Amino acid sequence: MLVQRLNALMDTSPLAIEVVLIDDGSGDDTASRIRQLALTDSRYHGVLLSRNHGHQLALTAGIAAARGTEAIFVIDGDLQDPPELLPDFYRLLQEGNDVVYAVRKKRKEGVVKRMGYYWFYRILRSISYVDIPLDSGDFALVSRRVVDVLNKMPEESRYLRGMRSWIGFKQVGLEYERDARAAGESKYSFKQLFQLAYNGIFNFSEFPIKFMSKTGAVAITISLIYFLIVVAKKLFFTQVIEGFTALLFVIILFSGVQLLALGIIGEYVLRIFFQSKNRPLFIVKEEIVNREYI
C-alpha cells in the first residue's frame, strides 16, 4: 500500500521526487522487496542497514542518503502520516520556511499512549531550552541547508525533532489528523518510547541536573529544620525525639535523594560514554541506487 500511494503521488506531482526506503534490519522480506523495487524503478533508492539500529538512527540514515537538492520529506512507512500532504508542505516551504513540521491535532492510538504523548510534549516544552513544537513528530519537510546541518550533528542518542528545532531558521507547523497504522503492529515498545523521551529530556533540557541541586537544597533545609526542632525540645522542653524513628527518617530521605542524584548523573555519564566511543551512528550493509549496487 505504501508503494502504491507513493507511486500515485509521484505520477501526479510536477516535482522531481526520489524515495529513499530504509530497511532497519527487518526479519521479514522487507529488504528483498526494497531491493527489487530499487532495481526496477529508478525513482526508488534502497538503503539496507546491517542490523536494527532503532527508529531515530534509521531516519538519520535516510536523511544522510537522500540526494534532494531542494528539500527532504521525512516520513514513516506505516502510513500514519499521509504522503499526499507533500504539496501542502511544499507550498509552505516555498513561502520562505526552512522547516515545515506536522502538528498532530488528533491521534488514533490507545488512550494510554495518547495521554502519555500529550503530557510528555508539554512537560518537555516547559523544561527545554529549545522551543520544541507541541505534538510534532519527525514527519516534516526540511530544506537542503537544514539537512546539511543535521548530517553534521554527531549525537549518538538522537532526538531528531529536538535537533531540528535547535538548528533554527524559519519554521512553521501544519496541522493534520494522524491516521491509524495501515497494517501490522508498532515496533515501538514502551521501553523504546521511554528511551526516546529520555533522549529528548536529557539532550535538550538542563532541568534534571538543576532539579537535583534544588532537591539537595530542600533536603538540607528539611534536615536543618528537623535538627533545630530537636535542639529546641532538648533545651526548652527537656525532650528529645526518639532516636530510631528519627534516624530511620533521615536515612530514607538522604538515601533516596542520593540514589536519584546518582541515577540522573548516570544518564549523563552513559551518554558521554557512548558518544566518546566515536563509532559510526549506523552501518549500511547494502545500498541500491538507480539500478546499480554501491
| From 29-43, 118-132, 177-191, the region with the lowest mean pLDDT | 177-191
Q: How many angstroms separate the CA atoms of 15 and 72, rounded?
A: 12
> What does the pLDDT read at residue 141?
92
Report the mean per-residue pLDDT for the chain.
Answer: 81
Q: Are residues 225 and 124 in the same domain?
A: no
Contacts of 57-62 spanning 24+ positions with Cβ under 8 A: 57/24, 57/158, 57/281, 57/282, 58/22, 58/24, 58/282, 59/22, 59/138, 59/160, 60/150, 60/158, 60/160, 60/281, 60/282, 61/22, 61/281, 61/282, 61/284, 62/20, 62/22
Res. 284: pLDDT tops 80 = yes
DSSP structural state of residue 29? S
> What does the pLDDT read at residue 293?
43
Q: Are residues 122 and 148 in the same domain?
A: yes
Q: Which of 110, 111, 93, 94 is nearest to 102 (CA)?
A: 93
Count structural domains, the chain.
2
Q: The domain spanning residue 59 has which CATH number? A: 3.90.550
> What does the pLDDT read at residue 240?
59
Q: Are residues 272 and 159 in the same domain?
A: no
- More confidently predicted of 253 and 169: 169
Q: Are residues 112 and 248 in the same domain?
A: no
Read off the pLDDT band of 201 (50, 70, 90). Answer: confident
Q: Are residues 94 and 156 in the same domain?
A: yes
Q: Are residues 195 and 96 in the same domain?
A: yes
Q: Are residues 54 and 179 in the same domain?
A: yes
Can you give the pTM of this predicted structure?
Answer: 0.74
Domain ranges, residue 243: 207-276
Ranges assigned E (strand) in the chain:
19-23, 44-49, 71-74, 99-106, 136-143, 171-177, 284-289, 292-293
Q: Which of 110, 124, 76, 71 is nearest to 94 (CA)?
A: 71
Residues 80-102 have pLDDT tens digits of: 888 888 888 999 998 989 999 88
Q: Are residues 175 and 32 in the same domain?
A: yes
Q: How many angstroms separate the CA atoms of 206 and 224, rounded?
A: 28
Q: Are residues 191 and 212 in the same domain?
A: no
> What does the pLDDT read at residue 110?
67
Mean pLDDT of 185-208: 72
Q: Are residues 237 and 116 in the same domain?
A: no
Mean pLDDT of 261-287: 84
Res. 244: pLDDT tops 80 = no
Q: Are residues 111 and 227 in the same domain?
A: no
Mean pLDDT of 233-256: 68
Mean pLDDT of 178-202: 67
Read off the pLDDT band of 292 (50, 70, 90). Answer: very low
DSSP structural state of residue 134? T
106: which strand partners? 177
Percent above pLDDT 90 for the chain: 6
Q: What is the dihedral of CA 18, 24, 25, 30, to 10 degrees?
A: -50
CA distance readout (Å), 95 to 65, 98, 101, 142, 290: 26, 9, 14, 13, 32
Q: Are residues 254 and 286 in the same domain?
A: no
Helix, strand, coil in percent for the chain, rounding step 5: 55, 15, 30
